[in-house]
Every structure is written in structure tokens, then in C-alpha cells.
């Protein structure tokens, strides 16, 4: 049973999922059907819950791909958006607006002191495109190194840096090299991060002129199936990249902004400070907003070239971002992500002890992954089972994502206000299906 929740959505009179499906499917991009054969028609959201057309409540274990950080339609965020919308919705680069200044300062205050110049974008893709551009302009080199199984976005440059098995866009991989993924679960060197770093050095030595623009990675791969970097990897890579004149770009689009609980950013605890940090998703709680933060010295390569975009730093989006950050602090959502995430992970590990189908449980805070295998020894991906269980969980009212190279990893990235009760529900329902 769902924990009690005091909210009744207003009646919905629009088309139903069946009607949309029957009448509009041919107009919808096939990506709409990546997760579910027949997606739900979600018409309301409050905190960690979503409501469909009939008013049925679902526990949102996916958070709009790790995006809804402080909960659906949080009143403080709604208020900030409405207030700003009533005054001015768009200001472009001709005018200053206090929301953009306040949010830029607030973001910088969350990062190491030298990272303080903020460029706003509308998405994670744009933030990473911009980071790659900055690195290339700053270093004069074209070569970027990213990790296999990474996801960095879906425009030309970032799709090149994305190295997912099922996104075959090799045609645009110009200037991007994919290094062995330091994956402690499937990687050949297990948890020994330093060993994987040799591959980056080899790429620099033999795949480039010896001079690179940058190295870009996620501290925890999200789309790649919640894969943490093996410890010791980043300091070793950092040395190689610095010697080759390159910049370290931390893609914090999914793992940043309090999601992992123990730290505000995913790169923290790895012993290196990035030259460029990119972010999006959780900073807007669902409002399109991204940012690139770098040092004044690096930022200069853009500012002297008159770089700008139309919507970057839009006052409604930045007002929302500022409200999101305040809610995270006021409601101690980072601590909550740590406490509830640790509890959930512990419980998932207990399930793993019980059910052979669970090959691995990983991640931190409220960015967790459960990998399903039909043979633990061989780590054979249990693809069909993943799809089946995910559909069943939806029928039972619990929504999670899936990902990983083989599509056999449940991605649990709920709003950071997820509770222990929610965690219990999220566990019980899949457990039921593992059992029968």
C-alpha cells in the first residue's frame, strides 16, 4: 500500500492515454516508447508522486531522469516561476536581471573557489557542447577523451562523446576518443582505478598529437547504468590530461546537485578539482536550465569572442533555479538523499542476497542502480526480465527507469524528498516479482 498523501488532483477532462495512443502515435517520436510499450498519460505531479488521467497515484522512482530534485511542483518553485513570469519572462543579453545574477552567484558558491564564471544554457546537451567548445578554444586542440558507455548529450559533439552501445553515431565522432570505462563491476581491472587510467595515457600517446583539449566524464554514469568510477582513476587520469595540456570537464548533469547525498557534486571525494563543471537537470527541477561553470582564465576564451545565446539565463528559469537551491537547503534534501539512499541501498543489497536475478546494486544517495543477470558468474544481462518487471512495477504504481549497456539496469533516481516509506514500497513491489 502507498503511504498516505494528502492531495487530490483536480479532475482531468483531456484525452486519455488510450485516445492519445490510438490517434496520435504516428506523430510521436519512437523515443516516447523507449521505456514503456504504452506510456502513461501523466497529468499531475506533487512531491514524489505522479497522477494519471484517472487520478491514480504513482510513486516516482525516476524523477524525470534524475531531474525533479525537490519534488514535482514544489510550491516555492511554482511561486518563484509565477512571480517572475508576471514581471518579465525574457530579457536576453541586452539587459541584466537580478535572477540571473543571484543564481550565478549561488551556483558558484557551491563549487571550489576558482570555479566562478557561469554560462547558462537550456539543457545538459548544450552545457556539454559548450564545455567541449571552451576546451577546444582554450587549448587549441580538437581531441576530447570520453569514456565508453558515457552519455553526454544528443547534439553532434556530445553525441560523439557519448559512447553507448545502442547509440551508434560514429559518423560524428570526429576528434573524440573513447577510453576504457573504469567500471568496477564489469571492467577487467575490477576496482583498481589506476590501472584503467593507462588507457587514457595510451590514447594521448598514440591517438593524438600528444596535446589534448580535454577529458570529460560523469563521476557516476547515469544512462550508462549507474556506474561509479573505480577509486584512484581520476587522479591518475588528471595527471595524464594535465601533462597533455588538456582540461578536466566534470559532467555533473545527472550526478550533481545533491543527488548523491554524501556530496553536493559527484566529483567530490575523487581528489581532483575540475576545470569546467557542467550541470542541468536537477538545477531547474524540470524547468529547462543548464550551466557551465569555469575559471575566469578559461572563461576568457569565450567572453572575448562574444559568445551568447538567446535563452541562456532566462529570468523565469534562473528564478526557478534559485528557488530549487533554496528548497534543497531549507529542506536538507542532500542529507535526506544520503539517509534514504543509504537505507534503500541496504535493502536492495538484502534483496540481492535473496534473489539470484540481482547481479549488482550500486550508486550513491538517490542515484542507485540494480543490475539484473540470469547468471551471476557470467553476468549475463537479464534483458527480458528487466522489461517485464519494469512493466509490472508500473502496473503496481511504481515507476523506475532502466539503462546500462544492455538495458538491464533499473535506474532509481527519485525526487530527493523520497522517504523511507517510499523506499519500502519501491522495494516490496519488485521483490514480489522476483519471487514469483
Q: Does 280 bind ligand PMP (CB under 6 A)?
A: yes
Q: Does 246 bind ligand PMP (CB under 6 A)?
A: no
C-alpha cell at 176: 573524440
CB of 252 to ligand PMP, least distance (A): 8
Tell me if residue 122 falls in helix, strand or coil.
coil
Our CB check for ligand PMP shows the closer of 84 and 158 to be 158
Handedness of CA 344, 345, 346, 347 (dihedral sign): positive
Q: Does 339 bind ligand PMP (CB under 6 A)?
A: no
> Looking at residue 111, what DSSP letter applies?
S
What is the rounded distance in angstroms from the CA atom of residue 262 to the CA atom of residue 341? 10
Our CB check for ligand PMP shows the closer of 151 and 248 to be 151
Kindly tell me which residue out of 59, 135, 253, 317 binds ligand PMP, with binding defined by CB under 6 A.
Answer: 253
CB of 188 to ligand PMP, least distance (A): 24
Q: Does 121 bind ligand PMP (CB under 6 A)?
A: no
Kindly tell me which residue out of 69, 84, 123, 173 binds ligand PMP, with binding defined by CB under 6 A.
Answer: 123
Q: Does 223 bind ligand PMP (CB under 6 A)?
A: yes
> Which part of the chain contacts ligand PMP (CB under 6 A), choosing from 27-35, 137-145, 249-257, 324-332?
249-257
Q: Does 254 bind ligand PMP (CB under 6 A)?
A: yes
Q: Does 129 bind ligand PMP (CB under 6 A)?
A: no
In the chain, the N- to C-terminal Cα span, in Å, equals 19
378, 430, 381: which is closest to 404 by C-alpha? 381
Q: Does 45 bind ligand PMP (CB under 6 A)?
A: no
Q: Does 152 bind ligand PMP (CB under 6 A)?
A: yes
CB of 251 to ligand PMP, least distance (A): 5
CB of 225 to ligand PMP, least distance (A): 12
* Residues 370-399 contacting ligand PMP, CB under 6 A: none
40, 253, 290: which is closest to 32 by C-alpha? 40
What is the rounded distance in angstroms from the CA atom of residue 330 to the CA atom of residue 343? 22
C-alpha cell at 16: 486519455
14, 123, 207, 368 from 66: Cα distances, Å: 27, 13, 34, 11
Residue 392 CB: number of other CB atoms within 10 A?
Answer: 15
Q: Does 149 bind ligand PMP (CB under 6 A)?
A: no
Q: Does 292 bind ligand PMP (CB under 6 A)?
A: no
Handedness of CA 239, 245, 251, 257 (dihedral sign): positive
Kindly tell me which residue out of 45, 63, 214, 222 binds ligand PMP, with binding defined by CB under 6 A.
Answer: 222
298, 278, 196, 192: which is closest to 240 by C-alpha? 196
Tell me if residue 121 falls in helix, strand or coil.
strand
Q: Does 128 bind ligand PMP (CB under 6 A)?
A: yes
Site of interaction with ligand PMP (CB under 6 A):
65, 123-125, 128, 151-153, 218, 222-223, 251, 253-254, 280
Amino acid at each position: 500500500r502507498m503511504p498516505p498523501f494528502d492531495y487530490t488532483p483536480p479532475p482531468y477532462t483531456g484525452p486519455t492515454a488510450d485516445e492519445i495512443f490510438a490517434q496520435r502515435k504516428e506523430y510521436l517520436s519512437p523515443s516516447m516508447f523507449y521505456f514503456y510499450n504504452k506510456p502513461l498519460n501523466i497529468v499531475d505531479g506533487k512531491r514524489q508522486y505522479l497522477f494519471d488521467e484517472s487520478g491514480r497515484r504513482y510513486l516516482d522512482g525516476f524523477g524525470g531522469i534524475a531531474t525533479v530534485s525537490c519534488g514535482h511542483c514544489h510550491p516555492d518553485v511554482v511561486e518563484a516561476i509565477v512571480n517572475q513570469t508576471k514581471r518579465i519572462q525574457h530579457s536576453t543579453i541586452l539587459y541584466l536581471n537580478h535572477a540571473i545574477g543571484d543564481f550565478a552567484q549561488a551556483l558558484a558558491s557551491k563549487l571550489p573557489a576558482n570555479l566562478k564564471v557561469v554560462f547558462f544554457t537550456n539543457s545538459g546537451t548544450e552545457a556539454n557542447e559548450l564545455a567541449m567548445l571552451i576546451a577546444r578554444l582554450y587549448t587549441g586542440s580538437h581531441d576530447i577523451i570520453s569514456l565508453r558507455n558515457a552519455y553526454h548529450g544528443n547534439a553532434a559533439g556530445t553525441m560523439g562523446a557519448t559512447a553507448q552501445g545502442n547509440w551508434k553515431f560514429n559518423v560524428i565522432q570526429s576528434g573524440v576518443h573513447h577510453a576504457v570505462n573504469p567500471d568496477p563491476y564489469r571492467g577487467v581491472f575490477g576496482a583498481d582505478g589506476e590501472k584503467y587510467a593507462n588507457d587514457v595515457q595510451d590514447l594521448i600517446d598514440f591517438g593524438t598529437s600528444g596535446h589534448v583539449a580535454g577529458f570529460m566524464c560523469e563521476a557516476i554514469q547515469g544512462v550508462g547504468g549507474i556506474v561509479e568510477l573505480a577509486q584512484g582513476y581520476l587522479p591518475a587520469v588528471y595527471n595524464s590530461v594535465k601533462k597533455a595540456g588538456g582540461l578536466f570537464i566534470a559532467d555533473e548533469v545527472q550526478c550533481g546537485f545533491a543527488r548523491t547525498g554524501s556530496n553536493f557534486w559527484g566529483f567530490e571525494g575523487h581528489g581532483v578539482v575540475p576545470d569546467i563543471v557542467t550541470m542541468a537537470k536537477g538545477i531547474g527541477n524540470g524547468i529547462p536550465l543548464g550551466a557551465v561553470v569555469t575559471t575566469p582564465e578559461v572563461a576568457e576564451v569565450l567572453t572575448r569572442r562574444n559568445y551568447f545565446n538567446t535563452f541562456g539565463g532566462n529570468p523565469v528559469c534562473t528564478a526557478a533555479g534559485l528557488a530549487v537551491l533554496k528548497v534543497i537547503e531549507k529542506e536538507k534534501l542532500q542529507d535526506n538523499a544520503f539517509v534514504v539512499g543509504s537505507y534503500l541501498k541496504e535493502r536492495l543489497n538484502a534483496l540481492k542476497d535473496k534473489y539470484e536475478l540481482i547481479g549488482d546494486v550500486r550508486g550513491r544517495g538517490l542515484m542507485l542502480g540494480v543490475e539484473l543477470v540470469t547468471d551471476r558468474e557470467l553476468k549475463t544481462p537479464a534483458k527480458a526480465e528487466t522489461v517485464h518487471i519494469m512493466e509490472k512495477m508500473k502496473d503496481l504504481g511504481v515507476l523506475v527507469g532502466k539503462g546500462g549497456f544492455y538495458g538491464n539496469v533499473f535506474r532509481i533516481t527519485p525526487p530527493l524528498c523520497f522517504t523511507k516509506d517510499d523506499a519500502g514500497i519501491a522495494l516490496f513491489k519488485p521483490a514480489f516479482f522476483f519471487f514469483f
